Amino acid sequence: MNNNLLKGKKGLIVGVANERSLAWGIANSVFQAGGTIAFTYQSEALKKRIIPLANKVNSNFTYEFDVQDYKGAPDFFKKLSIDFGNIDFLIHAVAFSDKEELNGDYVDTTKDNFLKTMEISCFSFTSLIKNALPYLNNNASLLTLSYFGAEKVIPHYNVMGVAKAALESSVKYLAVDLGKRNIRVNAISAGPVRTLAASGISDFRYILKWNEYNSPLERNITLDDVGGAGVYLISDLSSGTTGEILHVDGGYNVIGMKNVNAPDISKV
Ligand code: NAD
């Protein structure tokens, strides 16, 4: 990793839960590339995990913040700007759905969980950006995390796939809104990785195995793969790229009917 690529850039990462989080993969790579990071954690219960992780990347800037706290958001961003300064990047790696509905059929989605999934997994990106706007530097790069289930049906991904489709669409609308300030908005569509959020998806191990069997790179992706793409999208190397959904999934998205190998379910 070139340790000057993000020198002088600082930003906020929302969505680290532990060292397996995709957001942590990005944090690590950003740090190695010379960037400075502030973190939020969702609740007091996660604080003891986040502070030592933040220390590993030389950060003392950690804040409790729930993306559904719309009243507290303006004060949070104001405080962040006073403590940490204006920001050059914002990483949104947040999703939630009732795990009872990441099983069975999409048609059984309840209204309550549909709205909650959409709110936390999609609207929160727009809302974070709206609140961060006064404190974004003019060439800032904003990034969210999506998944192939936005484009094609993945078993049990259900309402989360619908929310990711809306999230990917909102990346494009936001890119247009913010382009005039030279602020870029992109998404990484990551392949499956075993994380806390992923553990809620029924048969996730089978999805992992399927990806390994069928992606051109014949493996699942790592946190470093996601981190490298994050550094690229934050850095000035991607200065002409906005409104883009960058697939970091071993090429899984390019497979049509050519190479569909089904893993033996009894061995997964
Ligand atoms: P994770 O469990 O490590 O991260 C999810 C994060 O969302 C947690 O830090 C959690 O605290 C946060 N969160 C949920 N509700 C919140 C709220 N109300 N306020 C603030 N934070 C809240 O899991 P992950 O897999 O690293 O997920 C990060 C992102 O990556 C998600 O958007 C997920 O959909 C996406 N993604 C994951 C995979 C995968 O296979 N793991 C693949 C593609 C995309």
Strands ordered across the beta sheet of 10-14: 62-64, 36-41, 10-14, 87-92, 136-146, 184-190, 245-248
**Residue 106 known to be catalytic:** no
Pair 85, 38: CB distance under 8 Å:
no
Name the token pair of 119. 């709110």
How far apart are the CA of 93 and the centre of ligand 1, in A?
5
The atom number, within ligand 1, closest to the CA of 147 reads 43
25 lines ligand 1 (CB under 6 A): no
What whole-number distance in Å separates Cα of residue 90 and Cα of residue 67?
14
Q: pLDDT by residue (tens digit) across 12-22?
A: 999 999 999 99
Exposure string of 221-255, with b = 16+ CB inside 10 Å and e = fewer, is bebebbbbbbbbbbbeebeeebbbbbbbbbbbbee
Q: Which of 191, 263, 188, 252 is nearest to 221 (CA)?
A: 191
Q: pLDDT by residue (tens digit) across 127-177?
A: 999 999 999 999 999 999 999 999 999 989 999 999 999 999 999 999 999
Q: pLDDT by residue (tens digit) across 188-230?
A: 999 999 999 999 888 899 889 888 888 889 899 999 999 999 9
How far apart are the CA of 182 and the centre of ligand 1, in A?
27
**Residue 232 known to be catalytic:** no
What whole-number distance in Å separates Cα of residue 266 and Cα of residue 217?
24
The atom number, within ligand 1, closest to the CA of 94 reads 7
Strand segments, DSSP code E, in 5-124 are 10-14, 36-41, 62-64, 87-92
Reported confidence tier of residue 259, pLDDT bands at 50, 70, 90: low
Q: Which of 64, 63, 62, 53 is nearest to 31 (CA)?
A: 53
Tell me which DSSP letter residue 119 carries.
I
Q: pLDDT by residue (tens digit) across 29-66?
A: 999 999 999 999 999 999 999 999 999 999 999 999 99
What's the mean pLDDT when you consider all of the chain?
94
pTM: 0.96
**What is the per-residue pLDDT for 268?**
63
Atom 35, ligand 1: which residue's CA is nearest? Answer: 145
How far apart are the CA of 257 and the centre of ligand 1, in A?
30
Q: pLDDT by residue (tens digit) across 79-114?
A: 999 999 999 999 999 999 999 999 999 999 999 999
